[in-house]
Amino acid sequence: MTTENTSAPNFIRTIIEADVAAGKNDGRVGTRFPPEPNGYLHIGHAKSICLNFGLARDFKGTCNLRFDDTNPTKEDVEYVDSIKEDVRWLGFDWGENQFYASNYFERLHELAIRLIKDGKAYVDSLSAEEIRQYRGTLTEPGKNSPYRDRSVEENLDLFERMKNGEFEDGTHVLRAKIDMAANNMVMRDPTLYRIRKAHHHRTGDTWCIYPMYDFTHCLSDAFECITHSICTLEFENNRELYDWVLDQFSDLPGRPRQYEFARLNLSYTVLSKRKLIQLVEEKLVSGWTDPRMPTLSGYRRRGYTAESIRDFCERIGVARADNMVDIALLEHCLREDLNDRAPRVMAVQDPVKVIVDNYPEGEVEWIDFPYHPENEAMGSRQVPFSREFYIERADFMENPPKKYFRLSPGKEVRLRYAYYVTCVDVIKDADGNVTEIHVEYDPKTKGGWSEDGRKVKGTLHWVSAQHAIDAEVRLYDRLFTQENPNDMEEGKTFKDAMNPDSLTVITAKLEPSLKTVEAGSHWQFERLGYYCVDPDSTPEKPVFNRAVGLRDSWAKKVNK
RNA sequence: UGGGGGAUCGUCUAGCGGCAGGACUACGGACUCUGACUCCGUCAACCAAGGUUCGAAUCCUUGUCCCCCAGCCA
């Protein structure tokens, strides 16, 4: 468990405090994070992970990692591996407490037989479609299946034969005998077991019947002595069944209680696993780790830090009301974290060449640049300055508006840590595009200071043309332009809804110190944003992902 | 239309009968060798109507709106 400050209060924490104070479960707290290994973890899972592991940490309890692997047709080891990696990356450790629902198949099967013997479960031989019809509707009660009153012996025999593979998929199910007229639809004789002649990623072909979520989850919690089983709001109706199942057995090792909280919704972000799977399968993104994906592995590759995501989860809180968190908060958390830890380097994304007319040709000065002006411990490196360099195209304007601090004809600006330069000429092509800017430098301003005390308002970032290295830079924009992409009508394809400009690949000019850089390392390109070295990156062809841009009050002003 | 939940600044979230607070956003300003960061400030909310009470976001009543449930998914 990571050691950190205690989290902010929330209603679940309040409940647990009261339970501990009342001596429930001998004051012990046990939680669990129970993903189904049918996809990669996303930021919504991070909320649950931080909640469950955070509670265990703060109450000196345990948090189990349990794979809810009861549906072999959807699950895969690739997912369990990625889930473990992502939870660890986020900064949590389940220690020895790793479990699989599939490890309980034997025990669950025994309990199912006990239910049958107690007359609380029966084998139904209706088709799926018939079961649906018999279930009734929201306003009308259902009716009993004609198979509901089979004898215990017959049920036992049928269930045994289901297990032995004598029947085809869909021909029989085991159902709890509860109440077909219950107002809560979940209680209308829920299915406990179904036949699925499919290979399971852990149990192989040992089983051809698999327990359903409602039967498995509560009992798994009980087996593991979970005290507080925390899930999302859509399982509220299932709580009655959760308790019903546990109440059928008096000899369980634990008696967990289920609590629900509102799942995370993030603006401009799809967080439904079904849709994320679709994006991957339809190859609309490069995969689960595509930096545009809201998966933890996507964010990681994009350049988000575990620290920033934990901070985000802490700040959004935990409540029972539906929510839509502004993506700006996530970005704020990232900037705040990276501001302290990302070394500052120089890069030009949209270069225009500048020539210093009065600077000797062939001369090169290596200037000492601190990696972080506010943190000397981060050290420095040498950056070359020469007669020709690149600046950002947006840092020059031939006819600037008032309050424009950057370069324009006749105007003097500072090249960061280098010299003051004044624009003396502009060369344009036939279309009027600026191709070359000529400046004159003041040799007495070396290092970026003027001895006579004259001040310049603008400071530009620059990269020596002769030393610049070319790097691929991937700029990301939101994958969906709609604030709530979950509202997308069914039938409408993702292609229609996706932002065609969600990925822009450009070639940028970088200072030579960036030639060899570690994959996954974070950098601030001064005045541009925070970038992370992509795993695709090589010294021959560096690749950077822009995690998030810097706030830009000038751009904001100009856009008005 | 049955049942289960929910409603506090634009957004997220505190509050649990006693001054509606914080964060994000937005907007101003100071500072600045990043128009960044930082700092300071401003705008901004109790779903509605009744009731109880000296006092209500909080308790009661009645409405309104939103979410979830009719998988052999989880």
Which residues does residue A355 pair with via DSSP β-bridges, in sequence order?
A388, A438
Measure, in angstroms, how far nucleotide B50 C1' is from residue A241 CA: 39
Give start and end residues of each alpha helix (H) in A248-294: 273-281
**Å separating the CA of residue A34 from the C1' of nucleotide B74:** 10
* Chain B positions with a protein C-beta closer than 7 Å: 1-8, 10-16, 22-27, 33-38, 66-74
Q: Are A501 and A371 in contact (CB under 8 A)?
A: no
pTM more than 0.95: yes
Q: Is A412 a catalytic residue?
A: no
Provide mean pLDDT across the span A74-81: 97
Give the separation between CA A341 and CA A275, rounded to whole angstroms.
34
Range 449-488, chain A: CB under 7 Å to any strand B atom: 449, 458-459, 461
pLDDT tens digit sequence for A391-427: 999 999 999 999 999 999 999 999 999 999 999 999 9
In the predicted structure, residue A488 carries a pLDDT above the cut 80:
no
> Which residues partner with A508 through β-bridges?
A471
Nearest nucleotide to the CA of A404, by C1', is: B35
Active site residue A161: no
ipTM surpasses 0.90:
yes
pLDDT tens digits for A120-132? 999 999 999 999 9
Residues 516-535 of A with CB under 7 A from strand B: 524, 526-527
Confidence of residue A8 (pLDDT cuts 50, 70, 90): confident
Query: What is the average per-residue pLDDT within A485-491?
Result: 72
**What are the tens digits of pLDDT across the range A22-66?**
999 999 999 999 999 999 999 999 999 999 999 999 999 999 999
Q: How far lies A216's CA from each of A104, A109, A221, A241, in Å?
A: 8, 10, 9, 11
CB of A11 nearer than 7 A to strand B: yes
Strand B proximal to A210 Cβ, under 7 A: yes
Instruction: Kindly state the average pLDDT of the residues A151-164.
Output: 98
| A414: nearest nucleotide, CA–C1' criterion | B33
pLDDT at residue number A331: 98
> What pairs with residue A193 in β-bridges?
A174, A211
Provide residues 318-357 of A with CB closer than 7 Å to any strand B atom.
Answer: 318-326, 328-329, 332, 335-336, 339, 344
Interatomic CA–C1' length for residue A276 and nucleotide B10, angstroms: 28
Residue A156, φ and ψ in degrees, nearest 5? -60, -45
Instruction: Please check whether residue A358 is in contact with residue A49, taking contact to mean a CB–CB distance below 8 angstroms.
Output: no
pLDDT band at A494 (very low <50, low <70, confident <90, very high): confident
Quote the tokens at residue A139. Answer: 């306003």
- Residue A4, pLDDT above cutoff 70: no
Integer Cα distance of A348 and A341 in angstroms: 21
Out of A13, A36, A301, A474, which one is annotated catalytic? A36
Residues 110-139 of A with CB under 7 A from strand B: 126-128, 131-132, 135-139
Mean pLDDT of A116-122: 98
Percent of chain A at pLDDT > 70 equals 98
pLDDT band at A6 (very low <50, low <70, confident <90, very high): confident
Q: Which candidate, A288, A253, A297, places its Cα nearest to that of A86?
A: A297
DSSP annotation string for A214-228: HHHHHHHHHHTT-SE
- Between CA A17 and C1' B14 the distance (Å) reads 17
User: Which positions 432-451 on chain A have a beta carbon less than 7 angstroms from any atom of strand B?
Assistant: 447-449
What are A265-319's pLDDT values in tens digits? Answer: 999 999 999 999 999 999 999 999 999 999 999 999 999 999 999 999 999 999 9
Q: Note the pLDDT tens digit of each residue in A194-249.
A: 999 999 999 999 999 999 999 999 999 999 999 999 999 999 999 999 999 999 99
- Residue keyed to tokens 């929201």: A138
Average of per-residue pLDDT values in chain A: 96
Among this protein's residues, is A416 annotated catalytic? no
Measured CA to C1', the nucleotide nearest A461 is B34
A235 Cβ contacts chain B strand, under 7 Å: yes
Judge contact between A40 and A86, C-beta under 8 A: yes
Q: CA of A140: how far to CAs of A29, A137, A148, A181, in Å?
A: 41, 5, 19, 8
Q: Which residues contact A92 (CB under 8 A, 6 or more apart)?
A: A1, A2, A49, A53, A63
Confidence (pLDDT) at A5 = 54
Q: Is the CB of A197 under 7 A from strand B?
A: no
Catalytic residue among A150, A163, A273, A301: A273
pLDDT in tens, A239-270: 999 999 999 999 999 999 999 999 999 999 99
Give the per-residue pLDDT at A493: 75
Span CA (A487) to C1' (B47), Å: 23
Q: A416 near A461, Cβ under 8 Å?
A: yes
What pLDDT is stored for residue A1 in this prediction? Answer: 36
3-state secondary structure A493-527: CHHHHECCCCEEEEEEEECHHHCCCCCCCEEEECC
Is the C-beta atom of A55 closer than 7 angstroms to strand B? no
Nucleotide nearest to A450 (CA to C1'): B33
Catalytic residue among A24, A28, A114, A263: A263
Give the closest residue to A274 by CA, choosing from A483, A15, A485.
A485
The answer on pLDDT for A2 being more than 60 is: no
- Rounded to whole angstroms, the distance from the CA of residue A472 to the C1' of nucleotide B53 is 69
User: What beta strand segments (E) does A371-409 contain?
Assistant: 380-386, 388-392
For residues A324 and A406, is the Cβ–Cβ distance under 8 A? Answer: no
